[in-house]
Chain A
Amino acid sequence: MRTAWSPENYPEDKEPARSDFVVLSSAMNSRAQIAMLPDGRRLHLHDGPIDLIVEAFGSAPEVETAYRAACDRFVTVLDELCSELAYLRQACRPEQPWPDGAVARRMVAAVMPYTPQYFITPMAAVAGAVAEEILAAMVATAELSRAYVNDGGDIALHLNDGEKFTIGMVERPDRPSLFGKTAIAAHDPVRGIATSGWRGRSFSLGIADAVTVLADRAAAADAAATIIANAVDLPGHPSILRVPACELAPDSDLGDRPVTQAVGTLSNDEVEQALAAGARTAELLLRMGLVRAAAICLQGNTRVVGTVGGLKLVEGPEHERILLHA
């Protein structure tokens, strides 16, 4: 039973962008949940494993049009993905056929550059691809100065001329505190940000606490963060606990590949060695034009590759924080 929000059952008497906890999707048994956050500015879209925080900037009617477009597009995304899930969970091969769904195509396009040298499945780019797709639907229907779609830390950005976003970066997803921040301006090529690491929601083959990537598109950033995070590694190190992915999640796209479950305290030399391995991969991707910058975090140490918008690392708590995903 699934009844999605549509303009027809939109509650006319509510003003979505102002009041607290207005639930736009009021139908019973609805799976997707669409609501304004308590600040009255941001839209929260949730369906199954997808959680999006959306914020658009512009005139009120344009913002409302953009939010309606985001909702319209959003309600079918999960079903579209699930209809091709088996295909999307398979390792990407250069000769494989294109999928049907628009989001699935974004995913395959994002991971294709890595095959056959690297193991990667289109699922590595799912979060970024969903963010991109929703942002595209908004920008296509409304005139916005700025907008972002944040899919669990994988973010698609829209910037009109002269605009900019300040981005806070989080070292460990389970400990929300900034280790650095950067500004992305309209003249920068960056429109996508993604973070990957073994502590995050997805499995990682590497030991990075977090790899944050700035790239031209969100799906590309998502795929690159996965590849770089996998490369931050100390193969065979005894204090790294690895478990075959399928033992943790039987239907994981990683099959029986060993995913990182715990990392003991490493010596400074070991941290340096693992960071260097990640940085080598990041530099390679930088030269290939796949990423614009990457920040790699491991046990409190950070390595930055590339420069965009003056990527600035801060020590300790940062007071002027602007978190896209608060």
Chain B
Amino acid sequence: MADDAVRCDACPVLCYIKPGRTGSCDRYGNHDGKLVRLDPHVVLDRALECGGSVVPFLERSHDWDGTLVSHGETFVTAIGAGTTYPDYKPAPFIISSQVEGVDMVTVVTEGIFSYCGVKVKIDTDRHLGAECSTVRAQGETVGHVTTSEYGSQMLSLGGVRHLTGGSRHEGTATCDALLSLCNGKAVELEIDDGAKVTVQAGKPPIVDGVQEERMRVGCGSATIGMFAKQWFGKVDDVVVVDDHITGVLSEHQAGKLLGVAQTGIKLKGRRSTPGRYFQVAEPGTSWGGTNLDNPLTILGKFNSKKAWPGLRLLMVSTTGEHYAYFELDENLKPREQELPATLRESVARIKENCEPALCTVLFMGGAGGSLRAGVTENPVKLTHSVRDALTRVTCGGAPVYVWPGGGITFMVDVIRMPQNAFGYVPTPALVAPIEFTLKLADYAALGGYVENVRPLSAITGQQETRRRLSAHRENPWPLTRNEVGDKR
């Protein structure tokens, strides 16, 4: 058979598995043409952080104990751990490990979050929709457009009202959208009286079918202001082409202050204030978000009283992706020339200062009564312990921001969590992993289930039911001792 299906030989069923599918057991699958084991419970391995199987025992302060990953180097996440439902059970895994000689406990559970949602930041200057506009998924209301931020449009999705307050369809659509976004999948959202946008964590947004590449360095006018000094003396005039606000150096306040001479340049479009023009062209996907392929079409005739043959003109887009250099001929007609080396740097710098346009998805949830009861018999003490920084909260091993004020309401960047870390229940509510790490002594003091504490070896020995993952490179290691429990 000539496709890239694989024959699984893990058992006598000998499933023939297509790419992206699993065999009849759901345990083995074809991932990019390779047979891989898909295990339910994720264990992060710090030693494998760099993707190798190196055992850095020489760098350890203590002797290598013969295992590949020693205590403190393996962190048990809550992904696939199970929940504490119906609320009074101890968390499914309460793991002890030694970190630099101190006994630490990590309470590992999956929380059912009825109060949860995602905050989505979409790097684009395009108008996606007015503030407070309804955001829909599968035609159902799942959230709204909230206050826009620098270079970005913001959406607030989910929350208890859409999950449980509306119709069953609304709840299901909201749950589906949240789950997909949190698990790093693409979701198509439609904004009332606005755009259709495809959002996927860590990927560029696709607005009305067009993929956003870069965040602009600023609008055309702002770009003039930022780079005027670098251009001064090297070129006679600069036009920064922008669908929103096109800037002209010689007319702009920044140019005036530097003493840039008038050049007799004439722009089409509507002049807003000196050196700032609206609507020079139609919106599009070319120069500065316009439909321009030839930037000269936005220029009128140079004023023969002010312009001179040999006048040097740079035209550039707000992302530096498009640029052209012209000199005026005897008839004051712009003739394209090669970009001089002295200007090349400034164009490169515009590009350098543009960040790639991304969608970012932060999961936000509140750990209420029931989840805390799986950690301790005295739930409020856990809240206090988190507040006092004695207990570190992580979400699938990723760092979280815990909101000040009451409760344990936190935000986490889903990109920093292992893949498919989220699940759901049809209540509907999201299921998210959550781990609490603290000193064993502190755990006992807050009324923890000390009798349920298990050594790490009891978990890591169960190779067949655990999935070992390398820790995310940018995440602080959840068991780093000086950041947990030492802040008294």
**Residues on A facing B (Cβ under 8 Å):** 20-21, 31, 33, 47-49, 51, 78-79, 82, 85, 171-172, 175-177, 201, 247-251, 265, 300, 316-317, 319, 321
CB pair B168–A319 under 8 Å, yes or no, is no
Residues on B with C-beta less than 8 A from A79 are 12
Residues on B with C-beta less than 8 A from A247 are 18
CB pair B12–A250 under 8 Å, yes or no, is no
What are the interface flags for B117-152 relative to A under an 8 Å C-beta threshold, 1 for contact and 0 otherwise?
Answer: 000000000000000000000110000000000000
CB pair A250–B11 under 8 Å, yes or no, is no
Residues on A with C-beta less than 8 A from B426 are 171-172, 175, 177
Min Cβ gap A226→B in Å is: 15
CB pair B11–A49 under 8 Å, yes or no, is yes
CB pair A85–B13 under 8 Å, yes or no, is yes
What are the interface flags for B65-79 relative to A under an 8 Å C-beta threshold, 1 for contact and 0 otherwise?
Answer: 000000000000000
User: A48-B25, A49-B25, A265-B169 known; A177 and B10 CB under 8 Å?
Assistant: no
CB pair A78–B427 under 8 Å, yes or no, is no
CA distance A311 to B138 in the complex (A): 34
Within residues 142 to 200 of chain B, which ones have a CB less than 8 A from any CB in chain A?
168-169, 172-173
Residues on A with C-beta less than 8 A from B13 are 48-49, 78, 82, 85
CB pair B16–A250 under 8 Å, yes or no, is yes
Answer whether residue B464 sits at the interface, using C-beta atoms and an 8 A cutoff: yes
CB pair B86–A319 under 8 Å, yes or no, is yes
CB pair A177–B15 under 8 Å, yes or no, is no
CA distance A82 to B25 in the complex (A): 14
- Told that A48-B11, A249-B18, A317-B427 touch, could you supply 6 new A-B pairs with CB distance under 8 A? A48-B25, A79-B12, A247-B18, A249-B17, A265-B139, A265-B169
A175 partner, pick from B10, B12, B139, B425, beta carbons under 8 A: B425
Residues on B with C-beta less than 8 A from A317 are 427
Min Cβ gap A45→B in Å is: 13
Within residues 1 to 55 of chain B, which ones have a CB less than 8 A from any CB in chain A?
1, 5, 10-18, 21, 23-26
Residue of A nearest to B171 (CB): A300
Residue of B nearest to A171 (CB): B426
Min Cβ gap B459→A in Å is: 9
Could you write out 24 A-B pairs with CB less than 8 Å apart?
A: A47-B11, A48-B10, A49-B11, A49-B24, A49-B25, A51-B25, A78-B12, A78-B13, A79-B12, A82-B14, A175-B425, A176-B425, A177-B426, A177-B427, A201-B24, A201-B26, A248-B18, A250-B5, A250-B16, A250-B18, A265-B139, A265-B173, A300-B172, A321-B86
Answer whether residue B257 sits at the interface, using C-beta atoms and an 8 A cutoff: no
Residues on A with C-beta less than 8 A from B86 are 319, 321
Min Cβ gap B80→A in Å is: 13
Residue of B nearest to A319 (CB): B86
CB pair A49–B23 under 8 Å, yes or no, is yes
Residues on B with C-beta less than 8 A from A176 are 425
CB pair A33–B464 under 8 Å, yes or no, is yes
Answer whether residue B424 sits at the interface, using C-beta atoms and an 8 A cutoff: yes
Residues on B with C-beta less than 8 A from A319 are 86
CA distance A107 to B1 in the complex (A): 30
**Residues on B facing A (Cβ under 8 Å):** 1, 5, 10-18, 21, 23-26, 86, 138-139, 168-169, 172-173, 424-427, 454, 458, 461-462, 464
Min Cβ gap A167→B in Å is: 18
Residues on B with C-beta less than 8 A from A316 are 427
Residue of A nearest to B11 (CB): A48
Residue of B nearest to A247 (CB): B18
A177 partner, pick from B11, B138, B425, beta carbons under 8 A: B425
CA distance A248 to B20 in the complex (A): 9
Residue of A nearest to B173 (CB): A265
CB pair B458–A21 under 8 Å, yes or no, is yes
CB pair A248–B21 under 8 Å, yes or no, is yes
CB pair B16–A249 under 8 Å, yes or no, is yes
Per CB-CB distance, the 6 closest pairs between chain A and chain B, nearest first, are A48-B11, A49-B25, A82-B12, A49-B24, A175-B426, A250-B16
CB pair B16–A175 under 8 Å, yes or no, is no
Residues on B with C-beta less than 8 A from A33 are 464
Residues on A with C-beta less than 8 A from B454 are 20
Min Cβ gap B178→A in Å is: 14
Residue of A nearest to B454 (CB): A20
B1 partner, pick from A175, A249, A250, beta carbons under 8 A: A250
Indicate the member of A31, A51, A176 with the most B CB atoms within 10 Å.
A176
Residues on B with C-beta less than 8 A from A321 are 86
Residue of B nearest to A318 (CB): B86
CA distance A20 to B24 in the complex (A): 29
Residues on A with C-beta less than 8 A from B21 are 248-249
CB pair B12–A48 under 8 Å, yes or no, is yes
CA distance A248 to B22 in the complex (A): 9
Residue of A nearest to B464 (CB): A33
CA distance A248 to B18 in the complex (A): 6
CA distance A314 to B13 in the complex (A): 39
Min Cβ gap A92→B in Å is: 19
CA distance A79 to B14 in the complex (A): 11
Min Cβ gap A27→B in Å is: 14
B168 partner, pick from A21, A49, A250, A300, beta carbons under 8 A: A300
Min Cβ gap A278→B in Å is: 20
CA distance A248 to B19 in the complex (A): 9
Residues on B with C-beta less than 8 A from A85 are 13
Residue of A nearest to B138 (CB): A265
Residues on A with C-beta less than 8 A from B173 are 265
Residue of B nearest to A50 (CB): B25
Residues on B with C-beta less than 8 A from A171 are 426
CA distance A176 to B168 in the complex (A): 17
Residues on B with C-beta less than 8 A from A249 are 15-18, 21, 24
Min Cβ gap A85→B in Å is: 7
Residues on A with C-beta less than 8 A from B1 are 250
Min Cβ gap B137→A in Å is: 11
Residues on A with C-beta less than 8 A from B427 are 177, 316-317
Residues on A with C-beta less than 8 A from B464 are 33
CB pair A21–B12 under 8 Å, yes or no, is no
CA distance A110 to B417 in the complex (A): 46
Residues on B with C-beta less than 8 A from A172 are 426
Min Cβ gap A207→B in Å is: 15
CB pair B138–A251 under 8 Å, yes or no, is no
CA distance A319 to B461 in the complex (A): 34
CA distance A31 to B28 in the complex (A): 14
CA distance A119 to B169 in the complex (A): 34
